[in-house]
Amino acid sequence: MKMDRTSEIYLDENATTRVLPEAALAAQEAMEELFGNPSSSHITGLRARNIMESTRRLAREVLGATDHQIVFTSGATEAIQTAIFSTLCHVRETRRTELPSDSPRLLLYGATEHKAVPEALEHWNQILEIGDELLPIPVDRLGRMDLDFLREHASRADIVCTMAVNNETGVIQDLPKIEEVLRSENSKVMWLADCVQAVGKMPFDLASTTIDYAAISGHKVYAPKGVGMLIARGSAPLTPLIAGGGQEQGARSGTENLPGVAALGRVLGELVSGTSARFRDIRQLAEFRDRLRSSLERALPNIVFNTPFDVSVPTTINFSVSGFTSKEILDLFDAADLRVSSGSACGSALQASYVLEAMGLPQWQCDGAIRISFGPTFTEDDVAAACCRIEAAGRALSDSCLVISDARDMATPREIDGVLQLKKGSMCTWMLFDEATRECVIIDPFDDFCERIETFVRCKNAQIVAILDTHNHVDHDSCRKLLIQVLDQYT
């Protein structure tokens, strides 16, 4: 298959997005022409302030945030920080006048939250000497919050942090149900909703909820990095993290990031219009997802999807491939110029996914998770090209006898003559294969490669001459005995 190598296909939009051309233009205009300081009282300053206020108006409209305070921040991490800091400052203040309670108070958060949430809770709990207990709310197999657990603990909580959509899996939390349970147990507790991965992918109406704080990030929705928003209900405490010139009604000092806000405004304008030529609707995105999913199934016969598609946004596909590490799949896709990521982009490269672990998925799925994510600006051409390359990558795997697919013609697998090394960490398995005679010797077959070796032997219709263990395996198990059984007909 001919592959266009001149352009990469970016399928990692949950990590970050490229800036929408219109948004980049708005930022450029705000740097070159409308460059004033929004605090200045002359016309140049007023023009700049107008950009700030028009973006705020559009944010209100898109998010249904009628009576809320909208504070521009450097991103969602800062918005989360501000919400938690404000709440805990308030808690500290009210405790001064209250009798101490005998049971510990709680800081509740979903077990699959972005790290910004538990880290900020821990940080401010310690710095402000609040002394609350951090308690993750478990999730079920689908990644949805355990509502009974929430019901049981909500009355002792000082804050509850939940997310609208998970960044690794795309799972949508049932916020209306969470609200019902939360408010039936505790009408006063502060509720922070991380809405970063939901904007542009599902409708919002913050005014019809009792969410106290919502965090939004610009760079996940085609605005630049370095801009975000905290949306706070009128009744929610707001203590500035940054004090100074009193910008943002005193909630966040420092001269505003006007280019970032201008760009975000342009994106929000596209979203508000509802008829944007740039943004696809949910139905179209779901159709794109289904096509990508079918191509993945054709390319990777051993694929298991970790995203529960019925309760997820259509723009995230999280999967693992039995017998392959995430690094191997990442490298394969990278070679096909498909940019995908392993689990979350935030953790250091290739750790097991704590999100999938919290969902109770088998360890191999958590270790080997891959995430494909796109966004509402994905086009028909993008999906067609991505499917094509995914299937080409799959063919490369089966041609190398690394997978066997019923769907493909296996008549001409690639020639593999000589020594093949399979390596994981310090562990090594060797296979000696002679294309002419089909004879194969397997040396030190360790457990993790059992499936791979079996696939290779079947694909090559190899004649096994010997399976050798050359040393005592102290650090891993040999699958020699198992191979002898399952490959009986090839010996």
380-399 and 326-335 are packed helices; what angle lies between their axes, rounded to 10 degrees? 120
Is residue 346 near ligand PLP by the rule CB under 6 A? yes
Q: Catalytic annotation on 387?
A: no
Q: Say which of 195, 346, 428, 479 is annotated catalytic.
A: 346
Minimum CB separation of residue 472 from ligand PLP in Å reads 45
Q: Give the largest Cα separation in the chain, rounded.
A: 87
Interaction of residue 197 with ligand PLP, rule CB under 6 A = yes
Q: What's the closest the beta carbon of residue 199 comes to ligand PLP, in angstroms?
A: 11
Q: Which of 76, 251, 420, 479 binds ligand PLP (CB under 6 A)?
A: 76
Nearest-approach distance from CB 120 to ligand PLP, in angstroms:
10
Cβ of residue 68: shortest distance to ligand PLP, in angstroms? 19
* Residue 269 engages ligand PLP in binding (rule: CB under 6 A): no
Candidates 52-60, 69-77, 438-446, 470-478; binding stretch for ligand PLP (CB under 6 A):
69-77
- CA–CA dist 150, 369 (Å, integer): 28
Candidates 108, 116, 366, 387; binder of ligand PLP (CB under 6 A) is: 116
Asked whether the CA dihedral 98, 100, 102, 106 is positive or negative, the reply is positive
Nearest one of 177, 171, 190 to 147, comparing CA atoms: 177
Is there binding between residue 75 and ligand PLP (CB under 6 A)?
yes
Q: How far is the CB of 228 from ligand PLP (least distance, A)?
A: 5
Residue nearer to ligand PLP on the CB measure, 196 or 214: 196
Closer Cβ to ligand PLP, 17 or 405, answer by number: 17
Q: Contacts with ligand PLP: how many residues (CB under 6 A)?
A: 13
| Distance separating alpha carbons of residues 395 and 393, to the nearest angstrom | 5
- CB of residue 82 to ligand PLP, shortest distance in Å: 12
What minimum distance in Å lies between the beta carbon of 447 and ligand PLP? 35
Choosing from 13, 132, 158, 194, the residue that interacts with ligand PLP (CB under 6 A) is 194
Cβ nearer to ligand PLP, comparing 325 with 342: 342
Nearer to ligand PLP, 75 or 375 (CB): 75
181 binds ligand PLP (CB under 6 A): no
298 touches ligand PLP by CB under 6 A: no
Give the nearest distance from C-beta 264 to ligand PLP in angstroms.
11
* Residue (of 346, 321, 329, 276) closest to 115 by Cα position: 346
375 sits near ligand PLP (criterion: CB under 6 A) = no
**Cα 31 to Cα 47: distance, rounded to the nearest angstrom:** 12
Q: Which of residues 380-439 bind ligand PLP (CB under 6 A)?
A: none
Residue 41 buriedness (CB in 10 A; 0-12 / 13-18 / 19+): exposed
Per-residue tokens: 73: 């921040």
Examine residue 163 and tell whether it contacts ligand PLP (CB under 6 A). yes
Instruction: Name the residue whose CB lies closest to ligand PLP.
Output: 75
Please choose, out of 52-60, 71-79, 320-328, 477-485, the segment that lies near ligand PLP by the rule CB under 6 A. 71-79
Which residue from 139, 108, 115 is spatially nearest to 360, judged by alpha carbons?
139
Q: Which amino acid is at 240?
A: P
167 binds ligand PLP (CB under 6 A): yes
Phi and psi dihedrals of 157, rounded to 5? -90, 145
Q: What gap in Å lies between CA 118 and CA 80, rounded to an integer?
A: 10
Binding residues for ligand PLP restricted to 119-148, rule: CB under 6 A: none
List the one residue from 77, 326, 373, 429 that touches ligand PLP (CB under 6 A): 77
Q: Which residues of 130-150 are buried (b: 16+ CB within 10 A; e: fewer)?
A: bebeebbbbbeeebbbebebb
Rounded to an integer, what distance in angstroms lies between the CA atom of residue 306 and that of residue 316?
10
The reply to whether 114 sits near ligand PLP by the rule CB under 6 A is: yes
Closest CA to 22 of 232, 376, 270: 270
Active-site amino acid positions: 346
The residues that touch ligand PLP, with contacts defined as CB under 6 A, are 75-77, 114, 116, 163, 167, 194, 196-197, 217, 228, 346
